[in-house]
Amino acid sequence: MIKQYRLENNLSQEELAEEIGISWRQLQRLEHNEENTRLSTFKKIVKTLNVPDEEIIKFIKK
């Protein structure tokens, strides 16, 4: 989900990572579901990428 919305917002991993205050490597791991994230970081991601509530709920249910 993160990668899809990042690409729709025309952001590189480096740009998004800088905007939300994490390393691009951490963002890469999040995009590949290799790492869990803090709720505060998740909130920054969905806010920055304007992810609809429905998508957030689907993601959380997985």
pLDDT in tens, 13-44: 999 999 999 999 999 999 998 888 888 999 99
Q: Are 27 and 17 in contact (CB under 8 A)?
A: yes
Q: What is the pLDDT of residue 61?
A: 79
Q: Which residues span the domain enclosing 34?
A: 2-61
Residues ≥6 apart with Cβ < 8 Å to 24: 13, 14, 17, 18
**Domain count along the chain:** 1
* 62 pLDDT above the threshold of 80: no
**3-state SS, residue 39:** helix
CATH number of the CATH domain containing 15? 1.10.260.40
Q: What is the pLDDT of residue 55?
A: 87
Q: Are 12 and 18 in contact (CB under 8 A)?
A: no
Identify the CA nearest to 2 among candidates 62, 57, 59, 53.
59
